[in-house]
Each structure stands twice: as C-alpha cells, then as structure tokens.
Amino acid sequence: MAWSPKFTQHALCKRIPTWPYADPKDRHVVSYDEYVKTGGYEGLRKALTMKPGDVTEAVKKSMLRGRGGAGFPTGLKWTFLPKLDEGQDDLSKRGPRYLAINADESEPGTFKDRLLMDFDPHLVLEGIAICCYACRLDKAFIFIRGEYHHQAHVLEKAIAEAYDNGIFGPKGLINSNANTGGAKFTVDCYVHRGAGAYICGEETALLEGLEGKRGWPRIKPPFPAVEGLFGKPTIINNVETLAHLPSIVENGPEWFMAQGVESTVGGPPSYGTKLMGVSGHVNRPGVYEFELGIPLRTLIEDYCGGIRGGKKYKAAIPGGVSMGILGTDQYEAELDFDIGRKYNVLGLGTACPTVFDEDTDMVAVARNISRFFKHESCGQCTPCREGSGWLYQLMTRIEEGHAKTKDLDMALEIATSMGSMPGTTICGLADGNNWALRTIMNKFRDEFETRVSPSHVAVKMTIGAAAHG
C-alpha cells in the first residue's frame, strides 16, 4: 500500500513556502505583525487561560517526542522538574528556573532548525513562552551555534519585537489578566552564541558553554532538570520541539496524535510531523515537512525528484552522521522513531537524510566521518579521545590500500568498545562514531575487503614430547 499524507496543512511550515506545496523562492522573514495576522501567538493566549500543570498534561498526552535527536517524550521530561509548592511562584521564595534552547545544530547533514530561525522566528519564541509558562521557568537562553551569524541576528530582532509587543519582559503578555495560574509570571529571553563546537549539542556541554566554561559534558546524575544551568532546575529542548507547542496547545493533543504512526516494536508512538532536511545525491535537496513514518523511498522518489543523474540508490544516513547508515536493501525504511530497532541504526536522529548514489565510495565516507569525530571529540574521556584517533588512522590506511584484513577486525573492535552505551564515556559522541563506522563496515563489508591485503598469521602447533623440547 502506497504511503499518503493524512494532512497537507503544515504545523511548522505554515508561513514558510516549502516543497511540494509552495515555492521556496517566496520565503521571507515573518515579522511580528505578519505572524499575529496569520494566527500567531494564539496558542500562547490559550495556554494563559489554562493552569500551568494543564498545559504540561496536554503536551504529555500528545506524546510529542524531542526533535533534537534522542526522541524523548517532551511532556515527560518537563515532569522531572522539582514540584513547586503553593506560593512558590514568587521568584524570591524559590530561586530561578531556566529553559535552555538547543539551537546548536552542528550535526553534519542537519539543517532543519535553521529553516525556522531563518524565516519564522516567532514560532520558536511562542513555543519558548508556552514552555516557560507551563514549567515556571523564569529565563530562556537560546544557545545557537557559532556559525549561525545570520540566524542569531534574525532571532535577536524577533526577540526585540516580542519585548515591544508584550510577549517577554516585565510587562509581557504572559503577565496579562488571562493568566489563571496564580501569581503573575514573566519571562526573559536571550540569545547566547556558541563558539562552534560540535560537542555543545550535548545538553550538559551546552550548559557548560552557557556558563562561560569549556564546552564538554558533565557526569550525570545530577540531571539538568534538578541541577542544571548555574546549579538550578533547567529544561533543555530543541528548537523544532518547541515550535510544535503552539499548534498542540491551540488544536489539542488529539489533533497532533492524528498525524504520524504508532510504534510497531512496542515503544512510544511517532506522532506528528517532522522537518526533514534532505541532502546528498538527490535532484531537489531541501527541508520538507512530513508526517513521521514516510518511507525513505517515497521521500526521495516522490518529493525530492529521485536520485541525481538517473542513478540508483545505494545508501542513506537517516538523521545526522552519528546515526549510522541504511544499506542498499533498506530503501523502504520508514522514517519514524522505530527505525533504529528495525534497521540496525542508532536511531532516527534529526530525520535529515543524506543520500548516496551507486557510485559512492563507502570507504571514503567512513574515513571522512571518522575524521570529523576525531576533530570534534572534547578529549575528556580516554576511549573517545584515543579511540577516535585510532579509527581515523585505520580508515585512512584502508582507503589508501595499506591495510590488512586484521585492520578491519581491529577497527570494529575499537568502535564497539567506546561509547556511553558500553559504559566507557560520559556522553554519546563516541557512540555516534561507533555506529557510523560499524554500520558502514558491516553493511558494505565487500568494499572494505577489496581495499585490504589478506593477513596471514602463522600458527605453529606441537604435541607430545616436542612441546617441551
């Protein structure tokens, strides 16, 4: 049965012309006035008529899963915050609580959050305001990657508009008479520009960067919801995750749950739409918004114009290089959160497929990925710091034709012994390195074997009295 979308009305790209429903050439930055005229901030206004706990329950019921890569249920994450007692809405009585927005987006092949920050920044700001109201978070920090210069300026201008029009600040909309949650509540929002480190995409490394320290991961526990930014309770959400909140609150969780697919492996469902940034060997790369569950073949053939130059599909990275690779026989893979268990990859990740045609040298792909992880390892954990360097040396040796068969086994052995899942590192950077190289080597083993010389290890066996001679 052919896949077909249940909805053609976008939640995230409502104001951003996007294929196949509109021409991207018509894109422009949506100002505050245009945003409001097209229904913007209605989700926030509705949220302000609800008690904060009811907003959290609506998000929890929707089963919105984080769009930053891990796919953890958003509403459930919010409930990890320490509960506030009666009267603790007063900041002077309870201390600050923070929201950190992960806009780092340094994963190779990922550029979907950039679309929102480029053209519809108020959608992100409305989601931030809803989250802060629901969780009682006093300050929001948008941690944006250092290379996103233009996007930082767009966000700063939009934040200024939000202050001028009563969204943020001491006289903000969230402090209006519509607030039925008890004491009146205000939020401040800031943009914090990173220094361009991939590791700051990891949530605790992001917190270190926000505090002005070297960006590298913290040991957990304590977890950020209990002891995060400056030692205070902190929620960390991705840009796209927050951008879903206005439509969920405005239309209800049932509306969101009507999109996407149920789990087929016993895990949480994959509800809602997802931004999918397609790059690589396709005729029409770009960012698309589709419901979770769309098959990779359908996305490429029906919406991206097929493989470039009329060539055949060979492989694809489903969502950032750290997720591993889908093989030639996995072209029908459904892009939902079950993809990891069904197709032997780390997970869906950012759902931004990088597509490779039949002429791609997979050994070169593995070597290039290993170079990236070697460069971006923060160096805190020995298995990652040393192992990433060893893997890069082995991949280079294999690509140049100087390796032996035993080097293939050595590379796999190194890869599988580094990462937070084997329990040898603090964060998952080494896991990304591990899964990327391991899946490429296992699914395209023949290409690696043709580049190495056979290893021959002589084994001398003696028996009987000769063994003691």
Q: Please give the model's pTM, rounded to 2 decimal places.
A: 0.91
Helix (H) or strand (E) segment spanning residue 314: strand 313-317
Q: Return all residues near 12 (Cβ < 8 A) that are at least 6 apart.
A: 116, 120, 123, 240, 243, 244, 273, 275, 289
End-to-end C-alpha distance for the chain, whole angstroms: 72
The overall average pLDDT reported for the chain is 90
Rg (CA), the chain: 24
DSSP 104-160: ---STT--HHHHHHHH-HHHHHHHHHHHHHHHT--EEEEEE-TT-HHHHHHHHHHHH
- % residues pLDDT > 70 (the chain): 91
Query: Mind listing the pLDDT tens digit for each residue in 52-73?
Result: 999 999 999 999 999 988 889 9
> Is the CB of residue 234 less than 8 Å from the CB of residue 131?
no
**pLDDT given for residue 267 in this prediction:** 85
Residue 231's region, left for phi above 0, alpha for psi from -120 to 50, else beta, is left
Which of 83, 89, 192 minimizes the C-alpha distance to 133? 89
Splitting the chain (469 residues) into consecutive groups of 10 residues, what average pLDDT does each group show?
A: 69 93 94 96 93 94 92 94 70 82 93 96 97 94 95 98 92 61 77 91 94 91 93 96 97 94 90 96 96 96 95 95 95 95 93 96 96 93 93 95 92 91 90 94 94 73 54
What integer pLDDT is reported at residue 131 of this predicted model?
Answer: 96
For residue 133, CA distances in Å to 44, 60, 130, 180 come to 9, 15, 5, 11
pLDDT at 141: 98
